[in-house]
Amino acid sequence: MADVHVAEELWSTGMLPEGILERWFVADGARVRAGEAVATVRIGEACHDITSPADGRLTLLAPINEVVDPGCIIAEVHA
């Protein structure tokens, strides 16, 4: 199993704007490939694609419009 994280590097300043999970590109249980964009997170005014770290079946852990923090896990990929 591999965790899908919202990378801490996406927060570029010391003042942390709120991050929001804006959209899932794939459905819960769908097969994904490593490097495939699976979600979009908005931090401040910028949108960032979140990619799968591995090949497998995606299990969503966070709903759309969820507030996300640096490094949080939003999904899991199971082989």
Nearest-angstrom CA–CA distance, 64 and 46? 17
Neighbours of 57 (CB within 10 A): 13
Local confidence pLDDT in tens for the 79 residues of the chain: 999 999 988 887 656 678 999 999 999 999 999 999 999 999 988 899 999 999 999 999 999 999 999 999 999 999 9
- As a whole number of angstroms, the distance between CA 46 and CA 24 comes to 16
Task: Determine whether domain 2-78 maps to CATH 3.40.640.10.
Answer: no
pLDDT confidence of residue 13: 63
pLDDT value at position 63? 98
- Tell me the whole-structure pTM to 2 decimals: 0.91
- Answer for the pair 36, 58: CB distance below 8 angstroms, yes or no: no
pLDDT for the residue 38: 98
Query: How many other C-beta atoms can be found within 10 angstroms of the C-beta atom of residue 60?
Result: 19
